[in-house]
Amino acid sequence: MRRVRIVPTGTANLASVAAAFRRLGAEPVLCEDPAAIEAASHVMLPGVGAFGAAIARLREKGLDRALIARIEADRPTMAICVGHQLLFAESEESPGVPGLGVVPARVERFPADVRCPQFGWNAIAAGSDALLLEEGWAYFANSYRAGEAPGWRIATAEHGGRFIAAMERGKVVGCQFHPELSGAYGAALLSRWLELS
């Protein structure tokens, strides 16, 4: 059975994430040990809520350095919602607070002329070079989004313009949407990621 270590950011709905992995036959384990996070076969970085509060929790526990090290080593890592945003250098939501910085770009709020937050299903368009990401429909709950991710393969969605719905680089995946709430589409993505070694 594949074990997935889940990083508690203090701002995530961990129950739904854990349930999604159990449905796929994986064992979710909450973990705040930096050495275990760095060495684990698979790590999930979830998040709901504020960018600043989530990154502060990671730094307080020394988990930021462990996550950066495993991402740089191309170990299977998935980040979702605010966890996905934490991969970026900074966010308009928390000015002056640096993120993990593995993506040299900024997360910004949706424009004022669209519904914010975006709640509900949206279509995903995956690039032809994507390995794990596919076209389909996924569930979103977000007020902020990124428009670019240099060096990453991306899938996009439209809400107040084109934005990054998900991205991948090697064995690392970031999802602005919630795969654990995205039915068969999300389950299939989680399953493909779990198969990475």
Q: Active-site residues: which are they? A: 81, 178, 180
Q: How are strands ordered across the β-sheet holding 88-91?
A: 88-91, 103-109, 144-146
Residue 179 per-residue DSSP state: G
Expressed in angstroms, the distance from the first to the final Cα of the chain is 13
DSSP, collapsed to helix, strand or coil, labels residue 27 as strand
CA gap 102, 25 in Å, rounded: 30
CA gap 54, 41 in Å, rounded: 23
